[in-house]
């Protein structure tokens, strides 16, 4: 998951907008609320009136309407922009098809295998199109429901009232008797997730809240004594989570829980939301991929339990580092947007926001590192940046897919600290100023100012979206010449059509990150140049405040006599390796050029394999292996694959 350059990747606010359990912002006390006026300079109370009017029109208890909206969006409108799940407005009415049409990437793209039925299909279950129901109930157009906050609130009230009517509770005036309708509004297909959402809503109703929204409206939910009647939940007839097939795969002291992702068919040969496998017996697990959720923990848990959505193996909560496992590590989750990587990886979603430099918590870093150490030992995965990837390091499978790849966990994830916690810190192991560098900026002094953070998801509690600040960062920008005013490098696939890279926080086209290793092209005073995407990229690297350390590593260069070699986004077998009944997956090179004379750091020898899994029955799944040999290299910000027959290895001296 995580953010995409043009997103699901789903999430402008948060996946479902539900604040993290245990991380809810403290609501003001009754005394504090009584000391506030309903309007202050520059702040309007018209949204409060919209809630009251909608509650009256559809006979929804006002605390219920306010409580649901608060848990979804904290009453914010988000300037009509959709969330990760395609939710709009204060009531988070969903229209994922519209959100995708506006430039988002449909969630199934995270599987990264176009061969699967429905691979390009946008999830269309009821949870992803509540705006349709709201339009039918109110007579208001869907575009208006998405963009007009007052209409959106009215639509949400109508949907809640309809859920209550279907449950046989129409006319109920006690807020506690709306528990079933509130649970249904979550969109959850599994009972425990719906119950968790409803319990959070009622806890908020009891506590109360008051805040100014992102567009300047004061809204107040007065603390209300209420007894939630959970018996209504049974009438929803939701799926119960099966008992865990085994204890969570996790260090015992972390107290992980099992919240399974569903493995279900849903017609037209399609199914979700992961694939059964037998790793490492069927294939080696080569990677662990670090993601940020771009939404709340509760919303993330909600989504992974939807069979029409995608999946990942673990979710980590920011407030206390709590870990939930969803997919067994022997099975393949759909999380990285590249099927070759998915088939060989384990995905970890961390509650947080890639465009917010102060989000990720220490307890989450520490628990994540404990989990990764455990998984790396279990699957014999080296603890380095060639195997422990960010989602932003995963390549697109073809040139057309690169621009839509995700960029989380972003430039503010502290890779230096994370690898120290892993027990594998980035160190200098060469005294020569040349050869190879490991990027290692000091976050205390490395504070590049990116742009457009306000256009990326952030926590509902922040109110008005925040601009980028000079936050500590693991990232270093590359220039075409050794001076800060020189242009950035070009990335023809990430930034089509002209390849121009920018300082946009989501643009990884001319950016390196802590722990990544690159061949040195030139050193000139305080500046160091590396080979990057077929170009020479310069970064400021003074001796008194270095951004990198000298390293020994095996390099890869084009064979003698070759003008250039091609880079691939996946290491698939040759055509002759496929059985007659299996369509050949084409070897499509990316658009980059690797000219003669340039070297890149070897990550590993990569197996030429394709995990054919396009049916629900795992008996039909098979691993197709070829004779081709590939090397993984650190070619740009993302890794890439090159045919071994096209290159030579250069072993480090000494």
51-74, pLDDT tens digit by residue? 999 999 999 999 999 999 987 877
Strand partners, 211: 219
Higher pLDDT, residue 257 or 489: 489
CA distance 501 to 535: 13
Task: Evaluate if residue 4 carries a pLDDT over 70.
Answer: no
CA distance 331 to 326: 10
Task: Evaluate if residue 610 carries a pLDDT over 60.
Answer: yes
Rounded mean pLDDT of 542-551? Answer: 94
Residue identified by tokens 């309407």 is 65
Q: How many CB atoms lie within 10 A of CB 83?
A: 30
Element containing residue 50 per DSSP (H, E): helix 46-58
Q: Is 405 exposed, middle or buried (0-12, 13-18, 19+ CB in 10 A)?
A: buried
Residue-wise pLDDT for 489-500, tens only, equals 999 999 999 999
Q: Is 189 exposed, middle or buried (0-12, 13-18, 19+ CB in 10 A)?
A: buried
Banded model confidence at residue 188, pLDDT cuts 50, 70, 90 = confident
Higher pLDDT, residue 314 or 319: 314
Task: Evaluate if residue 45 carries a pLDDT over 60.
Answer: yes
Task: Evaluate if residue 280 carries a pLDDT over 80.
Answer: yes
Residue-wise pLDDT for 87-136, tens only, equals 899 998 988 788 766 544 433 356 777 776 665 566 666 777 899 999 99
CA 585 from centre of chain: 27
- For β-strands 511-513 and 564-565, DSSP reports them as unpaired
CA distance 342 to 285: 9
How many Å from the N-terminal Cα to the C-terminal Cα in the chain? 42
Rounded mean pLDDT of 544-552? Answer: 94
Banded model confidence at residue 302, pLDDT cuts 50, 70, 90 = confident
CA distance 268 to 204: 41
CA distance 313 to 250: 11
Rounded mean pLDDT of 74-89? Answer: 79
The helix/strand/coil state of 253 is helix
Task: Evaluate if residue 33 carries a pLDDT over 50.
Answer: no
Q: 386, 424 in Cβ contact below 8 A?
A: no
Query: Residue 433: its pLDDT value, please?
Result: 67
Task: Concatenate the DSSP letters of all residues of 284-344 into one string.
Answer: ---EEEEEE-SS-HHHHHHHHT-TTS---SEEE-TTT--EEE-S-TTSEE--SS-HHHHTT
Task: Evaluate if residue 463 carries a pLDDT over 70.
Answer: no
Element containing residue 363 per DSSP (H, E): helix 362-379
For the ranges 185-199, 200-214, 473-487, which has the lowest average pLDDT? Answer: 185-199
Residue-wise pLDDT for 402-441, tens only, equals 999 999 999 999 999 999 999 999 999 887 766 999 999 9
The helix/strand/coil state of 618 is helix
CA distance 7 to 239: 30
**What percent of the chain shows pLDDT beyond 70?**
87
CA distance 499 to 455: 21
């Amino acid at each position: 998951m995580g953010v995409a350059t043009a997103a699901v990747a789903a999430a402008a606010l948060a996946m479902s907008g539900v604040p993290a359990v245990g991380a809810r912002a403290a609501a003001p006390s009754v005394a504090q609320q009584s000391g506030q006026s309903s309007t202050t300079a520059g702040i309007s109370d018209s949204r409060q009136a919209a809630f009251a009017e909608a509650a009256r029109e559809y006979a929804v208890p006002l605390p219920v309407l306010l409580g649901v909206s608060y848990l979804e969006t904290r009453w914010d409108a988000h300037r009509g922009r959709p969330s990760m799940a395609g939710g709009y407005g204060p009531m988070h009415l969903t229209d994922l098809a519209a959100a995708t049409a506006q430039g988002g990437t449909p969630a199934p793209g995270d599987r990264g295998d176009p061969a699967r039925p429905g691979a390009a299909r946008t999830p269309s279950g009821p949870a992803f199109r509540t705006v349709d129901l709201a339009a039918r109930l109110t007579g208001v157009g869907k575009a208006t429901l998405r963009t007009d906050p007052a209409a959106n609130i009215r639509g949400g009230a109508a949907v809640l009232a309809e859920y209550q009517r279907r449950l046989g509770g129409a006319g109920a005036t006690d807020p506690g008797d709306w528990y079933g309708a509130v649970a249904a509004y979550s969109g959850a297909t599994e009972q425990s997730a719906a119950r968790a959402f409803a319990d959070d809503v009622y806890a908020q109703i009891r506590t109360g809240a008051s805040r100014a929204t992102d567009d300047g409206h004061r809204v107040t939910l007065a603390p209300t004594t209420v007894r939630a009647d959970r018996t209504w939940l049974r009438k929803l007839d939701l799926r119960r989570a099966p008992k865990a097939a085994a204890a969570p795969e996790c260090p015992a002291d972390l107290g992980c829980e099992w919240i399974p992702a569903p493995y279900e068919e849903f017609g037209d040969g399609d199914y979700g939301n992961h694939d059964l496998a037998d790793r490492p017996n069927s294939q080696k697990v080569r990677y662990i991929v670090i993601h940020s959720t771009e939404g709340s923990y509760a919303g993330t848990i909600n989504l992974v339990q939807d069979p029409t959505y995608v999946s990942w193996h673990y979710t980590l909560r920011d407030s206390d580092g709590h870990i939930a496992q969803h997919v067994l590590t022997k099975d393949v989750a759909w999380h990285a947007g590249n099927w070759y990587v998915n088939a060989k990886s384990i995905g970890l979603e961390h509650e947080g926001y890639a465009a917010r430099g102060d989000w990720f918590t220490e307890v989450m870093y520490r628990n994540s590192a404990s989990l990764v150490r455990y998984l790396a030992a279990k699957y014999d995965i080296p603890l380095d940046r060639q195997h422990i990837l960010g989602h932003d390091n995963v390549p697109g499978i073809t040139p057309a897919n690169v621009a839509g790849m995700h960029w989380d966990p972003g430039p503010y994830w502290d890779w230096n600290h994370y690898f120290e916690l892993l027990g594998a810190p980035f160190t200098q192991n060469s005294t020569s100023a040349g050869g190879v560098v490991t990027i290692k900026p000091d976050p205390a002094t490395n504070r590049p100012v990116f742009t457009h953070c306000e256009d990326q998801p952030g926590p509902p509690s922040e109110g008005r979206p925040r601009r980028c600040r000079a936050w500590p960062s693991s990232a270093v920008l590359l220039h075409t010449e050794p001076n800060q005013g020189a242009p950035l490098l070009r990335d023809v696939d990430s930034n089509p059509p002209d390849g121009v890279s920018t300082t946009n926080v989501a643009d990884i086209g001319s950016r390196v990150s802590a722990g990544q290793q690159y061949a040195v092209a030139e050193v000139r005073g305080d500046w160091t140049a590396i080979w990057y995407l077929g170009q020479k990229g310069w970064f400021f690297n003074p001796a008194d405040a270095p951004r990198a350390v000298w390293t020994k590593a095996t390099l890869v260069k084009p064979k003698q006599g070759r003008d250039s070699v091609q880079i691939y986004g996946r290491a698939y077998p040759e055509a002759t390796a496929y059985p007659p009944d299996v369509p050949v997956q084409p070897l499509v090179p990316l658009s980059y050029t690797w000219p003669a004379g340039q070297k890149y750091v070897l990550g590993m020898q990569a197996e030429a394999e394709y995990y054919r899994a396009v049916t629900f029955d795992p008996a039909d799944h098979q691993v197709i292996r070829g004779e081709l040999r590939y090397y993984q290299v650190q070619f740009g910000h993302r890794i890439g694959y090159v045919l071994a027959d096209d290159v030579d290895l250069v072993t480090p001296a000494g």
